[in-house]
């Protein structure tokens, strides 16, 4: 197999598995680990993958704003576990920013009915999830322009209202999480609100990311990983990726 064919095969394997180890590729392709590392370096320069400690993850470009209704059923079990663990982090009396996205919306399903805390959100889906649960939460929906595709509110009014709160925690669902590119989304309005929320969070910024979000890069940056404290992932995220998160100083919680 010539080098160009081998690199094509590496990309094919990544599309199948999303994350691979150098040792595994070396065995599969019957070449040295040094050769695989050179191939991965070349493919990373071409923007096709991100190297991790001992491997690589597929880098995928998200060009369009995803449809909320399409995302509801995607990796539903993993999102449910992440949402349950995130709900357990909310403390009595705490003000929490809750972001857009279907995982963030599910958090309110798992909050104890007796918990008294304040949720500030632009996620209209979160309101639907909370209906009929008899929650003691104070839920504040930011005003502004409704985006039905994402099921959120955005715009200058929403950004202004964020500035009226200081949260003890932020629960941040993401479209894209990449070790180099940070947190990204295709939508400028959503990024502006969630960037403002991060800026007004005194405590931990907690990212909620199932395996499908890892290695995804969209065009609008929310923030770099230096502004993130905790990443909550499902057990399908490769060990090498989780190790790299920890090397970057992030607390990685696997649920």
With beta carbons less than 8 A apart as the criterion, state whether 229 and 251 touch. yes
We report the CATH number of the domain holding residue 173 as 3.40.50.1360
The percentage of residues in the chain with a pLDDT greater than 70, rounded to a whole number, is: 100
Q: Does residue 63 lie within any of the structural domains?
A: no
> What is the pLDDT confidence band of residue 58, given thresholds at 50, 70 and 90?
confident
Residue ranges of the alpha helices (H) in 95-187? 102-106, 124-130, 156-162
Residues 198 and 115 in one domain: yes
Cα separations in angstroms, 57 against 12, 43, 95, 130, 146: 12, 11, 35, 35, 35
**59 pLDDT tier (thresholds 50, 70, 90):** confident
Q: How far is CA 182 from the centre of its chain?
A: 9
Domain total for the chain? 2
Task: Please state the rounded mean pLDDT for residues 142-168.
Answer: 95
Check if the beta carbon of residue 20 is closer than 8 Å to that of residue 14: yes
More confident residue, 53 or 244: 244
pLDDT (0 to 100) of residue 98? 98
pLDDT in tens, 65-107: 888 887 887 889 999 999 999 999 999 999 999 999 999 999 9
Tell me, yes or no, whether 39 and 75 share the same domain.
no
Indicate which CATH number applies to the domain containing 45. 1.10.10
Q: Are residues 214 and 109 in the same domain?
A: yes
Q: In this structure, are 160 and 247 located in the same domain?
A: yes
Beta bridge mates, 170: 97, 205
For 20-55, what is each residue's pLDDT tens digit? 889 989 998 999 999 999 999 999 888 888 888 888
Question: Do 140 and 208 belong together in one domain?
Answer: yes
- The two tokens of residue 24 are 């595994």
Q: Is 102 within 8 Å of 68 (Cβ atoms)?
A: yes
Sign of CA dihedral 102, 217, 64, 193: positive
Residues 74 and 155 in one domain: yes
Mean pLDDT within 114-122 = 97
The single-letter DSSP state of residue 235 is T
């Amino acid at each position: 197999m010539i080098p160009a064919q081998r690199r094509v095969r590496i990309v094919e394997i990544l599309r199948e598995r999303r994350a691979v180890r150098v040792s595994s590729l070396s065995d599969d392709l019957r070449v040295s680990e040094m050769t695989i590392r050179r191939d991965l370096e070349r493919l990373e320069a071409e923007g096709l993958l991100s190297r991790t400690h001992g491997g690589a993850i597929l880098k995928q470009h998200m060009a369009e704003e995803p449809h909320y209704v399409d995302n509801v059923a995607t990796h539903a079990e993993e999102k449910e576990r992440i949402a349950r663990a995130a709900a357990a982090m909310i403390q009595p009396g705490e003000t929490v920013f809750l972001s857009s996205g279907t995982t963030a919306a599910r958090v309110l399903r798992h909050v104890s009915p007796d918990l008294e805390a304040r949720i500030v959100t632009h996620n209209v889906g979160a309101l639907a999830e909370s209906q009929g649960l008899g929650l003691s939460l104070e839920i504040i929906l930011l005003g502004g322009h409704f985006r039905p595709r994402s099921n959120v509110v955005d715009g200058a009014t929403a950004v202004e209202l964020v500035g009226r709160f200081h949260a003890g925690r932020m629960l941040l669902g993401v479209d894209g999480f990449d070790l180099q590119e940070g947190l990204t989304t295709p939508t400028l309005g959503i990024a502006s609100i969630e960037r403002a929320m991060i800026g007004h969070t005194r405590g931990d910024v907690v990212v909620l990311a199932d395996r499908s979000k890892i290695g995804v890069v969209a065009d609008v940056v929310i923030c770099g990983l230096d502004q993130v404290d905790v990443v909550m992932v499902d057990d399908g995220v490769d060990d090498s990726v989780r190790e790299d998160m920890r090397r970057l100083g992030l607390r990685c919680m696997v649920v």
